[in-house]
Amino acid sequence: MKPANNHGLKRVFRATGFSIKGLKSAWQNEAAFRQEAILAIIMLPIALIVDVSTTERILMVMTLLIVLIVELLNSAIEAVVDRVGDEIHPLSGQAKDIASAAVFISLALCAITWAIVLIPLI
């Protein structure tokens, strides 16, 4: 149910609170998100320190963030599917598999981008 008088800065503050709540929930309940977040925390300083162009640096950071974004969406899809019911259903499995594939593609994109940027430096 939508709250009354939910516009302007009040809406922004409420939305920010919900976003923080979602990040906390993902950290507490999703091992994959924790692993990818820790990896991003480790890799972010590398992206900022390595001697590459600004464009390459932006691509390196963006691919890290894309992995986290896609993992959050994957977790949300899994939560909704699990909420709908406990019974095994082909469409439930399909939804989870497709969301998982999106995470895999984002990880591959990140790995390929980082390899393309860093291998020439070796």
Q: Which residues of the chain have pLDDT under 50?
A: none
% of residues, the chain, pLDDT over 90: 89
Q: Are 117 and 59 in contact (CB under 8 A)?
A: yes
Is residue 97 within 8 Å of residue 74, measured between CB atoms? Answer: no
- Could you give the CA distance from residue 3 to residue 6 in angstroms, rounded to a whole number? 6
Q: Is 71 a catalytic residue?
A: yes
Which one from 36, 56, 71, 87 is the annotated catalytic residue?
71
pLDDT in tens, 28-49: 999 999 999 999 999 999 999 9
